[in-house]
Amino acid sequence: MKNIITNEQLYTQLNDPALILFDAGMLRPGLTGNYVAKAVLPNAQRFDIKNELADRSNPLPNTLCSAEQFTQVMQKAGVNHDSYIVIYEDEGLFSAARAWWMLKSMGFDNVKVLSGGLSKWLESGYPVQQSYSKAKHNGNFIARYRTGYFINKQQVQNAIDDPAIVLLDARAHKRFTGEDLEPRADMRSGHIPNSLSLPYSELLCSGEAKPLNEIQQQFKALVGNAEKLQFTCGAGITACILALFADECGYANLSVYDGSWSEWGKK
């Protein structure tokens, strides 16, 4: 897969001077406290989606920061225009795809997601450290936001009745149907009109991507000949998993609804 790298592949590349590793792990919905990794990959730094790289002026969780803020954080992390970035998280696939999509949206394309995350890395017996590293030098990367990677409520509203656009929801199916309550307070149950359910967990097996041909079949069954795909979830995180796999399957014209159900479903 072009967007995903295995433990074995990454291990052979650890000494690449262009490589920058980021831990983009987050707490799962419904959990409280702060994200704390039980170990850190060699020379890895923190990619803080929820705080350092979020628009803190927006009351919605996790929304994308400005290009200027993104530039400052990435330069401090030593990211150059010719860097090679690998994103991982504590286990499985939940938030690493969000970091991947954020980087793509800001004009950085040479980025991959580590299959299985830290848990698979530890299972393989590869080396770790106990705290995050800091870059020795500032990088020269300058973010340039690409319009359309993230969309707002109005753009989703405008597309609801457009047969050329399909909106896929990454939440668990019972959250989509309203059978299960939302994990966040003050949220209605249900889904955006005309959206379709594609739980991100159905594209994974033991936290790693299913075979590409199976993922392609799942997408094809839902989206048909749609010219554009939009993705939503609870708070703009797992929607990016669908974006990652749609890109892997060769689909173009992809957008993530940044506010997702945290905005649309608010009471």
Residues acting as catalytic residues: 233
Give the single-character DSSP code of 201. G
Task: Give the phi and the psi of residue 4 in degrees, each rounded to 5.
Answer: -125, 140
- Name the nearest CA neighbour of 235 among 6, 19, 55: 55
Give the single-character DSSP code of 218. H
Is the four-CA dihedral 205, 208, 213, 216 of positive or negative sign?
positive
Element (H, E) at 176: helix 173-177
- 232 near 195, Cβ under 8 Å? yes
- 121 near 128, Cβ under 8 Å? yes
Distance CA 64, CA 43 (A): 25
- Locate 118 and state its tokens: 């830290």
CB atoms within 10 A of CB 215: 19
Task: Give the phi and the psi of residue 85 in degrees, each rounded to 5.
Answer: -110, 135
